Amino acid sequence: MFQMTSSSDYIIEVRIDVLKTLKIAGITAGVLTAIGLGAYYIHQHTQRTKRVILRDEVKNILEPFQLSEDQLRRVMANLNTEMTNGLKSNDHTDKNDLAMFPTYVHYGPNGQETGEYLVVDLGGSNFRVSHVIIEGRNRLRLNNKIFLIPHSLLLGEGEKLFDYIAECLQRFIDDNKLALSKSSDYKFDLAFTFSFPCNQTSLRQATLVSWTKGFSCTGVVGNDVVLLLQQAIDRRKGLKVQVVALVNDTVGTLMACNSIYRDCKAGVILGTGINACYFENLDNVLKWKDEQNQTAKQVVINTEWGALGKNGCLDFIRTTIDRELDSSSSTPQQQIFEKMISALYLGEIVRLIIIELVQRSILWPGRMHKTPSLRSDYNIFLILRGSFYAKHVADIECDTTEDLSVTSSILTSIGIHNPTYDDCYIIREVCKTVSLRAAKLTAAAIAVLINRLNQPSVTVGIDGTLFRHHEKFKKNLTRTLNRLVPRTHRLVLSEDGSSKGSALVAAVDRRTKETTASS
Ligand code: BGC
């Protein structure tokens, strides 16, 4: 039976029905969307990365590379202790892991710096000459050129390397007609970005303690590198340049970033090598002996933290592969931390794990014997140190193609033809694991820096290929760091630190001297 309703009642009833319908439709849509998304993810997961059940042997090899939070906190504690010890005495040659070199840089730029500078940057995969004009209020103009260094020069006589640097400098000045408008007695001020462990006794005096990153020229270790460069410059008649500052790349990075972010008090390099510097209170630098500067309260410390582990404090996480890599390197027992993280070594760690997996017949089982024509290619990869690059690790790690075709073509490009899906899957797991460990260790180290700086907020300036180009590494680093330090912090990519930042070091020095002279 129909019940009589007034028209207003009817309207209310209709409204309620509409609402109900919408609600049901909404729930249905929600459920359908959820089912759809679920199906999509299951499809993605099964299709994209058809899971390969890793054999226990693979798991056992990778397990020591997987670091727990407790282990990371132990790394943090050890690094912190080594930093404190390094600030007490100059015993870095034997007792202390970390050199903690005072850099004689006391202040960041305040925006009043001006002038024209040349910068020579030696230390990574490239050698660069720059012309920097600082126009005040941190406005900078920069022009630079990358020069290739013949490999033989990196391993030959130091004097030849410095002569080559001076020659490139001359070419750069001539090509850009920089000397044209200058008076005959004008000398360019040059900042020398030299990214190796140097014991500084002033801004322009620095003894090389040891080479790193595969450099090994003779006649440089134990000598003042500023003097070596100045002598090479002076040997070229007509080259009017004076070296006014020696700058580590971390310090350049810090200065470039500090000119933009006032709370930037640390500079980190994550590239061919790894290292960090930060502003430390002079009261904490017990070994500080500079009578000249009575007013400064802080100094930038070049930690040289790539050397951590020299005396065994990282032994609890070092794997047999790490030890193998170290003992077959040209610098055994040195740069232990660097060898676990930097772009120069990441690929090599992966290659050594791959060799282990091949030897246990887990990767491309039997194929080396069945296909004699492939054997030599495989062997080149297996024998040749350094034939697998950090870039390969980064690209393989990010391979989300259905058939792992990126991984497959990288492997083919280095001589491993027609790898199977399982080969590619396992190698991608290896790359992920090695890269994650490096990111976590870096996070632990940066966490120590942030804690030591003890500011309400800290910006850390970072440069280097791992941070600039290796997306996954950067993500893992940021995620782990957020877990390790609740304190407010941000990581900022520093642009052209090794050139701009070094010019700023020279400019700050010039400004502070002018201020002192006029007061
Ligand atoms: C060097 C450091 C440098 C770092 C990054 C390390 O091998 O010892 O001085 O800052 O590489 O280039």
pLDDT for residue 452 is more than 60? yes
Amino acid type, 188: F
pLDDT for residue 159 is more than 70? yes
- Which of 248, 254, 494 has most ligand 1 atoms within 8 Å of its beta carbon, as the pocket-test mutant? 248
CA distance readout (Å), 19 to 29, 95, 111: 15, 77, 63
Give the mean pLDDT of 342-358. 95
Q: Whose Cα sits closest to atom 12 in ligand 1? A: 273
In this prediction, residue 391 carries a pLDDT of 96
Q: Which two tokens stand for residue 120?
A: 């020579």
In this prediction, residue 12 carries a pLDDT of 38
Q: Which two tokens stand for residue 84?
A: 């404190």
In this prediction, residue 361 carries a pLDDT of 86
CB contact at 8 A, 309 and 322: no
At residue 504's C-alpha, the angle toward residues 498 and 509, to 5°, is 130
CB contact at 8 A, 325 and 345: yes
Question: Burial, 374: exposed, middle or buried (Cβ in 10 Å; 0-12, 13-18, 19+)?
Answer: middle
In this prediction, residue 31 carries a pLDDT of 62
In this prediction, residue 16 carries a pLDDT of 43
- The finding on whether 310 has its CB within 6 A of some atom of ligand 1 is no
In this prediction, residue 38 carries a pLDDT of 59
At residue 166's C-alpha, the angle toward residues 238 and 220, to 5°, is 135
- Which of 193, 212, 216, 344 has most ligand 1 atoms within 8 Å of its beta carbon, as the pocket-test mutant? 212
Percent of the chain exceeding pLDDT 70 equals 85
Q: Which two tokens stand for residue 449?
A: 């820096």
Give the mean pLDDT of 84-103. 86
pLDDT for residue 131 is more than 90? yes
Tell which residue, 279, 269, 281, has the closest CA to residue 306: 269
- The finding on whether 121 has its CB within 6 A of some atom of ligand 1 is no
In this prediction, residue 313 carries a pLDDT of 98
* CB-side neighbour CA atoms (13 Å) of 330: 12
pLDDT for residue 24 is more than 90? no
Q: Whose Cα sits closest to atom 11 in ligand 1? A: 273
HEC-encoded secondary structure of 439-466: HHHHHHHHHHHHHHHCCCEEEEEEECHH
Give the mean pLDDT of 153-175. 95
pLDDT for residue 461 is more than 60? yes
pLDDT for residue 11 is more than 50? no
In this prediction, residue 26 carries a pLDDT of 60
Q: Whose Cα sits closest to atom 1 in ligand 1? A: 196
Beta partners for residue 459, in sequence order: 264, 490
Tell which residue, 153, 152, 118, 156, has the closest CA to residue 134: 118
Give me the active site residues, please.
213, 249
Question: Burial, 323: exposed, middle or buried (Cβ in 10 Å; 0-12, 13-18, 19+)?
Answer: middle
In this prediction, residue 418 carries a pLDDT of 84
In this prediction, residue 94 carries a pLDDT of 65
In this prediction, residue 18 carries a pLDDT of 47
Give the mean pLDDT of 125-135. 91
Ligand 1 mean position, distance from CA 316 (Å):
24
Ligand 1 mean position, distance from CA 272 (Å):
8
Ligand 1 mean position, distance from CA 31 (Å):
55
- The finding on whether 497 has its CB within 6 A of some atom of ligand 1 is no
Q: Which residues contact 271 (CB under 8 A, 6 or more apart)?
A: 124, 125, 342, 343, 463, 464, 465, 466
Beta partners for residue 192, in sequence order: 120, 246
Ligand 1 mean position, distance from CA 212 (Å):
7
Average pLDDT, the chain: 88
pLDDT for residue 134 is more than 80? yes
Ligand 1 mean position, distance from CA 514 (Å):
32
CA distance 196 to 98: 13
- Model confidence at 7, pLDDT cuts 50, 70, 90, reads very low
Q: Whose Cα sits closest to atom 2 in ligand 1? A: 196
Give the mean pLDDT of 258-283. 96
- Model confidence at 327, pLDDT cuts 50, 70, 90, reads very high
| Helix or strand run (H / E) with residue 57 | helix 56-62
pLDDT for residue 40 is more than 60? no
- Which of 199, 251, 304, 337 has most ligand 1 atoms within 8 Å of its beta carbon, as the pocket-test mutant? 304
Percent of the chain exceeding pLDDT 90 equals 71
How many CB atoms neighbour CB 201 within 10 A? Answer: 14
- The finding on whether 197 has its CB within 6 A of some atom of ligand 1 is yes
Pairing of strands 274-281, 264-270: antiparallel
CA distance 466 to 477: 10
